[in-house]
Amino acid sequence: MTGSRKEKEHGMSDKALTLLLEFDDQVRRDHHQSPAFLHRRDRRYALAADGTLTPRHWLDYVQRIGSPHHTSALRPLRRWHRISLSFVVTGALFGIVTMLGLLYYDGSGRINITVLLAFMLLQLVLAVATSLQALAGWRPWGWLIERYLHPGQEAAMAINRLQPQLMARAAHGGGLAFALAGLLTLVTLVVVRDLAFGWSTTLSTGAASYQQLMATLAWPWQGLWPAAVPDLDLVSQTRFFRISEGSPVTAARWGDWWPFVTMAWGCYVILPRLLLLLLSIWHLRRRAGQLLAAHPGLLALRYRMETPTVESGHQNTDVNRPPELAVQTGLHPLPDSPVVIRWAGAGNGSLPPLFQGTDRRLVVDAGGAASLDQDQQAIGQAREHLHADSRHSITILTRAWEPPTAELEDFIGDARNHWPANTRITLVPLATDPEQPAPDRQLAPWLRFSERLSDKRLHVSRYPESPHQTAGAQP
C-alpha cells in the first residue's frame, strides 16, 4: 500500500501519526533481523534513492522489496478512531438532553438567562482545561483509557506517548458535537414552542448594569445581527423575582431573548470548541513529527544509510553463516495438533496433508489481510475446538522467508488470554515449497522470536522434519 493511498484511507489529519506508527512498527519488526542484513538493505536503498531519503519513501521501499504492509501498526489508531466516534455520539446525545433540560418550560416560571450564561461559561472553562492538559501532557483519565486499550501491548509503542493529544482531540470532537446538537435543539424548541425567557439574580444588580453586561457579551455580533443585542427596555421588562405576582411584565417580550441566546451559544460554546479542536489536531501532528524526528530507529537508519558496507569477499558472508542459535537443538518435533492456524496465507498454494482439515482437525486463517475481528473469530473457534479435544496443542503455519512480526506477537499474547493455560503452540515456518524443509538461516529468526517471548509452551518445528532432528530433539 503506497503512502498516498494510506493518506486517503486514514485522512490527511492523521498523515503524520500514520507515518510515525508505521515507522515504529517497521523498526520493531527489524529487531528480528541481523544488523548486517539491515545495513546492506538500507545502504542499498540510500544509493538508489537519488536524494529522496525520507521515512515515507523508505517505508515504501522496504514494503516493496519483501516486507508487506501489516495492519498491526494502525490497530491502535483505529481504536482511537472508535473512541473519538463514541465521544461524538455521546456528546450529541448529551447536547440534546442538556438543552432540553436548560430550556424546560412548564408555564409556571421563566428560563433564566443568567443560568444559561453560567452554563456557557462552564463549557468554555472545560474546553480550555482540556487543551491545557494536552499541552502539558497530563493524563488524569489514563486509568479509564487503559481499560479499553491494551497497555501491555502498546506500552512500548510510539502512540502511547501521544495519549494526551489523542484524548484532547476526541474530547473536543465530543464537545463540538455537544454544542452543535444543543444549538439544533435550541432552534427547534424556539420554532415549535413559545419559550419564556427572563433574568434574575440574588445580587443587587440593576437593569442598566445587566444590560451593559449583555451588550458587552454581544459585541462580537452587534453589527451582524442587531436584534440579538438586548436593549435596556427588554432587560427591564423581563426581570423576575421570587415573588412576582403583581409584577407588570409584558409577556409578549419574554421570547425576544432567543436571538441573543442563540448567538451567545454559537460564539461562546461552538466557536471555542471548533478552534480548540483545530488546535488539538495541529498539536497532534506536531507532536507526532517531533517523536518521529527523535525516534532512535531513525537515527540508526540514517547511520546505516550513510555508512558504507564492508564485504570480506569470503563465500561465508553474513547471509551464509550458521545462525546464532543452534537450530537443530532448538527445534521440537512436530505435534499432531487438533487446530492449525495459517498465518498471513502460509501454505495457500499447497498445504501438506499433515495440516489439512479433517473431522478432528480445524484449519483457520488469521493475520495478513485478515481484519482484527477475523483474528478474534479464529481465536474463538480454536478455543471451542480445544475444549472438545484432549490434545491442547495448536500449530501456527508461517512463511519461513518472512521475519516474525509484532502482529503475530500480539496475536499469540491475545490468544493466551483465551485458550487453556496448558495449550502448546508450535510455530512451523514453511519454505517456498512446503514439501521441502526450510533452511536453518530462515528458521533462526523464528527461534530467536520464540526465545524472546519467554513462553515455555511456545516452540518451533520444521516441516518436513530432518532425521537427526526427529532423533535428537527434545519435546
The count of C-alpha atoms lying within 13 angstroms of the C-alpha of 275, restricted to the half-sphere facing its C-beta, is: 10
The four Cα atoms 41, 43, 47, 53 give a dihedral, to 10 degrees, of 90
Q: So what's the pLDDT on residue 325?
A: 42
Mean pLDDT of 405-411: 85
Most confident of 225-229, 379-383, 444-448: 379-383
Residue 12, pLDDT > 50, answer: no
Going from N- to C-terminal start, the domains of the chain cover 1-310, 328-472
Strands 197-198 and 458-460, by their bridges, are unpaired
Mean pLDDT of 29-35: 81
Residue 292, pLDDT > 80, answer: yes
Residue 263, pLDDT > 80, answer: yes
Residue 102, pLDDT > 70, answer: yes
Residue 474, pLDDT > 80, answer: no
341 — alpha (psi -120 to 50), left (phi > 0) or beta? beta
**195-252 residue pLDDT tens:** 888 877 766 677 788 889 889 999 999 888 888 888 888 888 777 755 454 444 455 5
- With a pLDDT cut of 70, the percent of the chain lying above it is 80
List Cβ neighbours of 315 (8 Å cut-off, separation of 6 or more).
Answer: none
Residue 319, pLDDT > 60, answer: no
Q: So what's the pLDDT on residue 466?
A: 57
pLDDT category of residue 157 using cuts at 50, 70 and 90: low
Cell representation of residue 391: 490434545
List Cβ neighbours of 64 (8 Å cut-off, separation of 6 or more).
Answer: none
- Of 209-218, 250-259, 429-438, 455-464, the range with the lowest mean pLDDT is 250-259
* Cβ neighbourhood burial of 362 (10 Å; 0-12, 13-18, 19+): buried
pLDDT category of residue 70 using cuts at 50, 70 and 90: low
